[in-house]
Structure formats: C-alpha cells, structure tokens
Structure 1
Amino acid sequence: MIAVAVTACGGHGEDGPSATLQRADRQIPKAAHEPTDPSVQGFLDAALPKGPGGTAVAARDGRLLHCKGFGLADREKAVPARCDTAYDIMSITKQFTAAAIMKLEMMGELRVSDPIGDHVGPVPPDKRGITLHHLLTHTAGLDDGAGGDDYDPVSRDGMLGIVLKSRLQSAPGAEFHYSNLGYSVLAAIIEKVSGLPYERFLATHLFAPSGMRRTGYVLPRWRPDQIAVEYDEHGKPQGRPNEHPWAADGPHWFLRGNGGVLSTPRDMFRWHRALEGNAVLSAGAKRKMFKPRVYIGARQGFKLHYGYGWAVTRGDGSRIVLHDGGNDWGYGDFARYLDHRVMVFWISNYAHQDGEWNLEDHATELTRGIARHART
C-alpha cells in the first residue's frame, strides 16, 4: 500500500505445534486450488512489468477471491510462483511480534507499559525509561547502526548486550526512529516471559489457532521447491532465505523478531481472517494494536501513523492497517481495509531489475489497484 519500512527457538518434536504444522502441510496438495478473480487479474496483467516473480492475493468479506502467482519462484528450474509458494515476508514479520506481545498481555504475563528492565534484567540509566510501548512504536530511541548484518552469528544475549551498551538517538518516547533492533528485543522478551522459543510461541499461540500451516522459520518441514529463490537486480540468484547463514532454530538475533519469517500467500490470508475474528486476539487487543500512536509522515496524500507492528492510515474510504517489507532482492506489501473488509497481499522474490523496473516504486498503486478491483 504505502511504504513503511524496508528491512532487511523451535525444534522438530513429534508433539505440539511443530507436528501439527507438519501434518497439516502434508494435507495440502502440491497443486492446490488457486482462485482467480478476473477483475484483479486484468489489473495485474496491465500493471505488472514482464520479468518479476511473485504472488498476489485479494480477499473480501472473509473470502479468498484471488491467490495466484506471476512469473517464477525458481528461474533456473522453471518453477512457477504459486499461492502456496513460501516467501521471506521481511519486515511484515513485525506484526507477528507485536501480536505475540498483545497475546502475552491478554494472558496477564506483561503490560505494554512495562519498562524493559522488568523483563531483560538490569539496564543502564539512559534506557530505564524504555517501555515495551516504545519498542512497539519505534520510539525507544534505539540506533540500528549499533547492530550488524542480518546474518552475523549473534546470540539473543549477545544482541541484548549490544543494545544495552549502545548510544540512544533520542530520549525514550521523544522521536520515531524505525528500529529492527527494537523488535529483536521484543522477541527476546517474548522468550523470557513465556519460557518458549520465539518461533514456538508464535506457532502455538498465533499460527496454529489461525490455521496457518506454512509459516515460521524452521518448524514447518520445508521442501526446497516450496520456497522461492530470491534474485538481485541483475537477475542473479541469491538462494532461498533459509539458505543464508542461520542458527539451527532460525535467523540469528539481528534478524529474529524483526524479519525473516517465511510464509505463503494463502497463510497470510488465513492470518487476515483470524484478525477479523477474536479467537486469536481479543477486540481490545486489536484496538490497541491498530491505534495510530505516532505520526511517521505522509506518502501520496496519506497521513501515516505507527501503531503496534502496523502502520495506520485512512484513505479510499476506509481505515487501513498495513506494513511492507523489503531487502536487496524481494519486496512485499500487506494491507487490510478494515471498513471494506478487504485484504491485499502481494510479494515478489525478484522485485528489482536494474534500469528497467522496481516494484517498490509502484507499491502504493499496485496495492490500491488490487483493493479497488477486489471491491467491485
């Protein structure tokens, strides 16, 4: 919809959410039904350049209208992109981290007003005023420059130590500074408070109740051909997201919690549908999550605020909650038009072609166009 930001511990037990995800995954046929809406498809045929690979989704009134790939998920093996292709959803991961915090608040395990010192141990004086609310809204003042590359082999405690020793860009609550590190700190808090690895908490309390069968880091038993290969601006393959340096249980801690979750477009529809009801998050939790809390700027006539893990705005006759994600190779956009009960998700594993096209430059018009045709 509107660009927000660009980014860049579970096991394989036989019981629990891991086994549930694996059994459910096997129940999906390799060529599952891919609904196609003629109006949405006609728009995409006209709007998309030739070359990128990806999948586009549109839903209305809780029904999946359109979920169809364009281009290739693996160019070398000529594997088409599909509704059930798994992609790195990049910074869209943040909404799962925010939802996990809201779930823990519902369970009475924490409050968003808690200082981080309540959950991570002693903190230096300049960071004693940082609360979970500040981390959720990117107003903690953390400087992402203190961290390293997404694939640096840093542990949870190593990441926390770097954050606590870093110099703040601004006083807690004073300014908006988009922070991947802040969401990694939230992931660490989820682990410390719940006693579960980050991915397993999400799988147990968010994904399984939502019917999400192919979402996570390592708990789903991914087949290589399920996951899209990513390509740089010259069309050179960069491998699959989980082929980059990861720990045994998922990304290292400069990426965990703020990005790197793999999901399918069909599962992202299931997440949208779960958010339309109250089985995973209560109505009160969703009101808190979607409340516009800090102004982050205007884009193409839309005034954007940040809530908890989502950007919030009004436009096209509806309240809209949204988030995008991107890296050097892929790009995705997820938008929910709350008053129209319309959802749009599109994602590409090959989003940039040097000197020819860049889907990120047209993200707003693509998302708005899909939404407009989904309403007709």
Structure 2
Amino acid sequence: MKYIFTVILALIIHISTCYGQTNKENEANKKIDRYLSALESVGFSGSVLVEINGKKVIAKGYGFCDAETQITNSPKTIFDIGSITKQFTAAAILKLEMQGKLSTNDKISKFFDKIPSDKQQITIHDLLRHQSGLISNVGRDFEKISEKEFLENVFNSELLFPVGTNFSYSNIGYSLLAMIIEKTSNKSYETYLYENLWKPSQMKMTGYTRPSYDKNYIAVGYENDNKVWGKPTEKEWDTVSPYWHLKGNGGILSTTEDLYKWHKCLLSEKILSNDAKQKLYHPKLRPEETENSYYAYGWDVSKTNRNTTQVWHNGTNRIFYADFLRFIDEKVTFIMLSNKSHPNFNNLNFEMARIVFNPNFIPEIPIADNAENRNFSNNIIKTISEFGIEKAKEEYAKKKSTEQLLEFLMREEGFKHIDNGKPEIAVQIFEMNVFVYPKSAKALQGLGEGYMETGKNELALKYLKESLAINPDNPFVSRLIKQLDK
C-alpha cells in the first residue's frame, strides 16, 4: 500500500507540474499575442515566430508586405535578413572544415595572392570573430564592384589594430569568407550553402535568387515616414546575387518559417557535428575575454542572469530589420523579420523574452511615430536647445491631448548632440525624456549615459541602476555600472 500511495502521489505531482507549466506558457502566449497586436496598431510591420518549451506557439504576420496592393505580411513573407546571413557563412566554413577542405586556423594567404604584409597573419578564425583588424566596409551595399576591385580596396585599407588583438565588426571580413567558400568548394557561394545547409534543412525559401520566389511574397521595404524603398531584388545585383559589398555578409532573403527550420537543424547533427557546433558557439577567445559575453562564429553569445546561454544575431540595412534570438538551454526562440526598421520595434524579441521569463513583466506600448508627435517632439527639442529645459516643461504642459513626446526620438537627438560636442544640451534632452517617462528603462539609460559624458558619475550610476532595476536583462547597462563602480 505504501508503494502504491507513493506512485500515485508522484503521478499527481507530475500532472500538477505539467499543468502549471502549460498554464504559464499559455499566459505568456496570450501576453505576447496581445503585445504584438498592440504594436501593429502603432506601426509595426513584419512577421514573428515564437517557440516556447520547444514548441512553435506563434507564427503570424503584422502590417503590410505591400501597402499599395494591400498584401499583408504572413509567415510566408520573404524578407531581407541582413547580417543574419553571417551565421550561414560561418556554418558553411565549418562544414568545409568537416569535409577536410580547410581549417579555421588557415591564413587567408592560402586563398588570396599579393596580400600586404600587415594582413598576412589574418586567419579564417580572425575573420569569423571580427578580430582581423579590417574596417567594416569599402562601399555601399548595392554599389557595383568587381571581385578584383573589391580585393584591391580591402587589402589597401589600413588595419584598425594588429591582427587578433581586438574586436571590430567587419562586413568585408565575411565577404572574404564567402570568397574562400567559393574557392574551396569550386561552387558559387549560394550553391554551396543550398546543397550543404538549406536543402538538408528543407529550407525552400532562403537564398539570393536560387528559390523560385513568387515576387508577390517579397516584402516591400519602407522608410520611417512610409516612403517606399522597394524590394531588395529590385536593386542593382550582379545577375544572381548582390555585389561583393554585400555578398556573404548580408542580403540573404528568407522567411521566419525557414529560419525556424534552420534553428531546429542546429539542434541536431544533421548539418554540423557536435564538435563543429561547439566551435560555432564557443571558439577560442582572446586572453581578455570571458565566457559572459563574446562574438563567436556568426553569433553573439552571452550568459543570462538565469545562468543560461543566450545566442543572438540581428541584421539591418535601416529599412529591413531581422532579429534571431535563441535560448537553447531553455528551449525558447524568437524570430522577427520586419520590412520597416524602427527603434520602437527593433528590441521586440528581447521584450518578448522578458514576457516569457518574467511573468510579472508588462511591456510598454510605444507612442505612434506620426507627423503630429514628431513635430511636437522636435519643437520640445528646439525649445531645450534655445531656452533650456524649464521652458520646455512649460511648453509640454500646454500640449494638446493628441500630442505626445516620442521617447526614442528624444534619445536619438540626445546622442546626436553628444556626437556634435553639445553634451550639456544632450543631458537636458535626456532629463526631459525621463521627466515624461520616469519608468522607461531606455530613457533612464540615456540619461545615465549623458551624465557619464559630462563627468557626473554619481548621477550616472543612480540612473543606470534605476534602468537596470526595470530591465535586469541589459548586459550593456550592467557593464557601465561595473565600470562606474570601479
């Protein structure tokens, strides 16, 4: 009888636990769904996929794929994924290493001729980790350039630091990796990725031009004022792919559904072995780096405050915005692709993560970025610049009921004034932002950074700590606080 009672008790506990987890997940799903609908009402446009506890729970589109023809976004909508392209380039390099065709320790002099002496020690590993010292770009994304001209411009550029000694994000480094893929495999960059990464993952809507895209599903990009930027495939391309300013480092087209298939494949050994994935996420670090936060091979890796691992990358050309956030240990994933990049929504994945991991968190719905609110915010900024913050507060008190201050615009303008050598005005702009939004972690962070710029470290510490109390999952603010504490 004692044995039977124990078994029944264990079964009851198990059922109760599972039921509790289900309720918690359902509540998170509902919160996220309501949140996304609210964001759509203030201008969000894109497609979102959410996985909780290893299950896809949300896969929806918001806003328009093409506003003129009234085609709405959906999980099938095709977006420019920007620098998320880099993870495919990195995975292809590791696949070639698995096939015995190269090593991440190989120097680039093995693949390119006439390399200047200051760049001869650069390895594939250095390119993958953005520690080669190469500058970021030598031209605009869709600017026409030949391979020969591209290499001449890259190798004639000055290094930012000695090879392997520091970090600086370099798009051209990943374009060099794409060239190495082509030279080593004797196939085009896109063909090698399709045969070795996308086809095994059953990703049918990912590539530059390889898939038979229905052009109606390719999202039209929009600027913040809703001006049409167009589709990536309408820009000047080198026949089947962008030119080398973009090829290999950005510009791949994909869907949230295809990226989810890629995520699932990376959980298995279908494409990369466990050893290769270990290197993908945990490559050799520089002596001054720690396991808390670093750039791996095409992924940014960091520890959460739950002592779990966060694997993340985003990408943008300031028209399209893509964000891929994975908590592999916790079986939680967020994929967001947008055809209208905007500061109000670019942190969306991290807000959804806070909803999942903190049941008490209630996300804020940003103020709509419309002409009336933008004009009002610009007038407040102008008043601060000409007459000071007290006059601006008087003007704010007289605002119409339909006028609202744009929190993100105030932060942007504050940092612009810092860059333009006007930190005192910047601080007043940040102070005004906190006056209107005293519970905004971003506004408080901006004010803290403003005080740091003006040497008021005690005040900086105060507001940065207030920001971190509201959003404890901000590693950048944590680092600033540690820096100030010293």
CA distance, structure 2, for counterparts of residue 141 and residue 112 of structure 1 = 17
Q: Does 1:330 align with 2:320?
A: yes
> Percent identity of the aligned residues?
38
Which residue of structure 2 lines up, in the alignment, with residue 157 of structure 1? Answer: 148
CA distance, structure 1, for counterparts of residue 356 and residue 211 of structure 2 = 30
Per-residue deviation, 1:47: 5.2
Distance 1:371 1:293, change over 3 A: farther
Which residue of structure 2 lines up, in the alignment, with residue 368 of structure 1? Answer: 353
Q: Name the SS for the 1:309 alignment partner.
A: coil
Distance 1:258 1:367, change over 3 A: farther
Q: Name the SS for the 2:242 alignment partner.
A: coil
Instruction: State whether residues 137 and 293 of structure 1, in contact with CA within 8 Å, keep that contact through their aligned partners in structure 2.
Output: no
Per-residue deviation, 1:373: 8.6
Q: Does 1:309 align with 2:298?
A: yes
Q: Does 1:358 align with 2:350?
A: no
Per-residue deviation, 1:122: 3.4
Instruction: State whether residues 143 and 179 of structure 1, in contact with CA within 8 Å, keep that contact through their aligned partners in structure 2.
Output: yes
CA RMSD, 1 decimal: 2.3
Instruction: State whether residues 334 and 349 of structure 2, in contact with CA within 8 Å, keep that contact through their aligned partners in structure 1.
Output: no
The structure 2 residue matched to 1:119, chosen from 105, 111, 117, is 111
Distance 1:216 1:373, change over 3 A: farther
Q: Where does 1:192-207 land on structure 2 (aligned, <5 Å)?
A: 192-207=183-198
Q: Name the SS for the 1:321 alignment partner.
A: strand
Distance 1:120 1:216, change over 3 A: same
Which residue of structure 2 lines up, in the alignment, with residue 43 of structure 1? Answer: 35
Distance 1:319 1:79, change over 3 A: same
Q: Name the SS for the 1:93 alignment partner.
A: helix
Q: Partner amino acid for 1:274?
A: C
Q: Name the SS for the 2:227 alignment partner.
A: coil
TM-score, normalised relative to structure 1: 0.82
CA distance, structure 1, for counterparts of residue 352 and residue 112 of structure 2 = 39
CA distance, structure 1, for counterparts of residue 53 and residue 91 of structure 2 = 22
CA distance, structure 1, for counterparts of residue 240 and residue 269 of structure 2 = 30
CA distance, structure 2, for counterparts of residue 47 and residue 70 of structure 1 = 9
Gaps of 5+ in 1: 1-35
Which residue of structure 1 lines up, in the alignment, with residue 333 of structure 2? Answer: 343
Distance 1:77 1:47, change over 3 A: closer
Distance 1:42 1:363, change over 3 A: closer
Q: Does 1:108 align with 2:100?
A: yes
Q: Which has the higher helix share?
A: 2
CA distance, structure 1, for counterparts of residue 267 and residue 101 of structure 2 = 24
Gaps of 5+ in 2: 1-27, 360-486
The superposition leaves residues 219-269 of structure 1 with CA deviations (integer Å, 9 ceiling, x where unpaired) of: 011121111000011101111111111111210000000000000110010
The superposition leaves residues 303-362 of structure 1 with CA deviations (integer Å, 9 ceiling, x where unpaired) of: 53100000001115321111011122121210111111221101210122xxxx6322x3
CA distance, structure 2, for counterparts of residue 209 and residue 90 of structure 1 = 22
Q: Name the SS for the 1:94 alignment partner.
A: helix
Instruction: State whether residues 43 and 370 of structure 1, in contact with CA within 8 Å, keep that contact through their aligned partners in structure 2.
Output: no
Q: Which has the higher strand share?
A: 1
Distance 1:186 1:345, change over 3 A: same
Rg: which structure is higher?
2
TM-score, normalised relative to structure 2: 0.64
Q: Partner amino acid for 2:85?
A: T
**How many aligned positions are there?**
329
